[in-house]
Structure 1
Amino acid sequence: MTNSYSSALDAEQVHVSFGRIEWALQALIVLSLAAFALETLPDLSPVQLLALQGFEVFATVVFTVEYVARVWLTRPWRRYVFSFYGLIDILAIVPFYLSLGVGSESLRSLRLLRLFRIFKLARYNVAMLRFYRALVIAREELVLFGVMALILLYLAGVGVYQFEHVAQPEAFRSVFDGLWWALCTLTTVGYGDVYPVTAGGKLFTFAILVVGLGVIAVPVGLVASALTLAREEIERGAHGAGSNVPTACGIKESR
C-alpha cells in the first residue's frame, strides 16, 4: 500500500515538473519571437543589441538541449528526427549555427528561418495539436482540393486572357497576366490593378467570383469536419492505454 502511494506521488511530481518545463519552453519560444522583432528596430544601442544577441544564444542552447534530449530518449531515434516536430525543432536551431560562418547578407535570410520556432508551440498547445491532427486526417481531401484549385486557376487565367487580350493588350499581355488576375479574383482579394472591360470578360469574372466563394468555403468545411474527428480521437486516446497523443514534454510523437 505504501509502495503504491509512493509511486503515485512520484508520478504526480514528475507530471508537475513536466508541466513547469512545458510552460517555461512556451515562454521562451514567445520571448525569442519577440526578440526577433525587437532586433529589427533601427535605433537600438550597442548594449541593447548585445543583450538581444545574448538572449538568442541562451534560447538556442536551451532548444538544442531539448532536441538532443528528445533524440536520446526516443526509441527508435529516427521516429522523432524525421517526424513533423523533429524537423521543426532542428529548423529552429540550425539557422543560428549556420550563421556563425556566413556573411552579413546571408545572415539576414538565415535569421528569417528562426520563425520556424513558432511551430514549436503546436507541441505544447492542445488546440494547435488538434488542428495539426485535423490536417493529417483531411490531408488527402486537401491535396485533391489543392490540385483542383490549381486547375481552376489555370483555366480562369486562360479564359480571361482570351476575353481581354485584344481589348487590353498591355494589361493582359500573356496568360501569366491572366493568372495574376485569376489569383486575385479566386481569392476574392481584388487588387484592381487589372480588370476586364469587355462584356464577355465581365460575365466571365462574375462566374469566377462565384466559384471563388466556393473555393474558400470547401477547405473550411473539410477542416471543420476534421477538427471534430480530431477532438474525438484525442479524447479517446487520452483515456485509453497506449495513446499516440503526445504529452507536453513526452517523447511520443503523433503521426
Structure 2
Amino acid sequence: MVQSGLEKLRRIIEENDTIAGRAFDLGIQALIFVSLLAFSIETLPELPAGLRPWLRRTEVVTVTLFTAEYVTRLIVARNKFGFMFSFFGVVDLLAILPFYLALGFDLRSMRALRLLRVFRVLKLVRYSQAMQRIHHALLIAWEELVLYMFMTFILLYLAAVGIYYCERDAQPEAFASVFHSLWWAVVTLTTVGYGDVYPVTVGGRMFTFALLLIGLGVVAVPAGLVASALSKARELESEPQPERQTQTEPTNSDH
C-alpha cells in the first residue's frame, strides 16, 4: 500500500502525463515566477515600507512550498543520494538554503546568501524540454569544450604577454604587468572592443591585428561545438527508446 502510494506520488512529481502531474508542474513554475518577481521588487531603491511585510510573507510561503517539494522529491527518489547530488537536487537545495541560513541574521549583512536566491530561476530548467536538450548537448560536447577553454586560456595568456612587451614602455599605466594586460586580451579576443585600452605603438597595432583575426575563431568555435551537440541531442531524442538504450549501454565483452 505504501509502495503503491509512493509510485503514484512519484508519477505526479516526476512525470507530466497526468492531470495531477501537469497541475503540479504548472504550480511550481508559477511559484518560481512569483518568487523571482518578489526578489526583483526588493531591489527597488524607493520601495514603500508597507510593501516589505508582504514581500517577507511571500518569501516565507514560497520557501515553505519549495521545501515541501524538495523533501517530497527526496522521499520518492529511488536513489536518494543520487538525487541530492544531481544538478536538479543541488538547484532545489540552493533555492531554499539562503532562507534557513539567514534566520536570526540581518540579511543586509548577508548579501551573498541573498544573492543565492537567484538560483531559483534554474528550477525552470526542469520544466523546459529545450533547456534539458541544451544540458544534454553540453554533456555531449563536454570534453571538447574543456579543451577549448584550456586552449583559450593559453591564448589569452600569450596575448597578454605579447601586448605587455609591445606597449609597456609607451603606456606603463595601462599595461603595467601581464595581469593588467589580461583585460585587454579578453576584450580583444572576444572582439568586444570597449576602447578603454588600446595599443599606440606600431608593434602593438600589428600584434592586435593578428589577434583580432584569431579572435573570430575564438568566438565561432564554441558556437559550432554547441550547435553540433544540439543536433546530436535532437537525433537521440527522436530515436526509439530501445535503440537509444542499446547505443548508450556499454557492451560486455566475453572473457
TM-score (norm 1): 0.86
Matched with 1:199 is 202
1:84-110 Cα deviation digits (max 9, x unpaired): 111111011100111113233333221
- Cα shift at 1:240: 2.2
Name the count of aligned residue pairs.
233
Q: Which amino acid aligns with 2:58?
A: F
- Measure the CA separation in 1 of the matches of 2:212 and 2:179: 19
Gaps of 5+ in 1: 1-9, 245-255
Matched with 1:233 is 236
More displaced stretch, 72-81 vs 150-159: 72-81
More displaced stretch, 49-58 vs 100-109: 100-109
- Measure the CA separation in 2 of the matches of 1:105 and 1:198: 48
- Cα shift at 1:22: 0.7
Matched, 1:209 2:212: yes
- Cα shift at 1:47: 2.5
Matched, 1:91 2:94: yes
Matched with 1:107 is 110
Matched with 2:23 is 20
Q: Which amino acid aligns with 2:202?
A: A
- Cα shift at 1:243: 8.4
* CA distance 1:73–1:149, shift in 2 (3 Å): same
More displaced stretch, 183-192 vs 125-134: 183-192
* CA distance 1:242–1:86, shift in 2 (3 Å): farther
- Cα shift at 1:134: 0.6
- Measure the CA separation in 2 of the matches of 1:197 and 1:139: 39
- Cα shift at 1:129: 0.7
Q: Which amino acid aligns with 1:17?
A: A
- Measure the CA separation in 2 of the matches of 1:167 and 1:42: 44
Instruction: Flag the structure with more relative contact order, 1 or 2, with Cα contacts below 8 A and sequence separation at least 6.
Output: 1
* CA distance 1:217–1:207, shift in 2 (3 Å): same
- Measure the CA separation in 1 of the matches of 2:75 and 2:242: 24
Q: 2:157 aligns with which of 154, 158, 164?
A: 154
- Cα shift at 1:153: 0.3
Q: 2:50 aligns with which of 47, 51, 59?
A: 47
- Measure the CA separation in 2 of the matches of 1:44 and 1:166: 51
- Measure the CA separation in 2 of the matches of 1:25 and 1:76: 22
Supply the RMSD in Å over aligned alpha carbons.
2.2
Matched with 1:31 is 34
- Measure the CA separation in 2 of the matches of 1:79 and 1:241: 24
- Measure the CA separation in 1 of the matches of 2:16 and 2:133: 27
Matched, 1:139 2:142: yes
- Cα shift at 1:13: 9.8
- Measure the CA separation in 1 of the matches of 2:220 and 2:207: 20
Identity of aligned residues (%): 54
- Measure the CA separation in 1 of the matches of 2:174 and 2:80: 55
Gaps of 5+ in 2: 1-10, 246-255
1:8-63 Cα deviation digits (max 9, x unpaired): xx999971110111111111111211111101112222321111111111111111
TM-score (norm 2): 0.86
For the Cα contact (< 8 Å) 2:16–2:25, is it kept in 1? no
- Measure the CA separation in 1 of the matches of 2:243 and 2:238: 13
Matched, 1:224 2:191: no
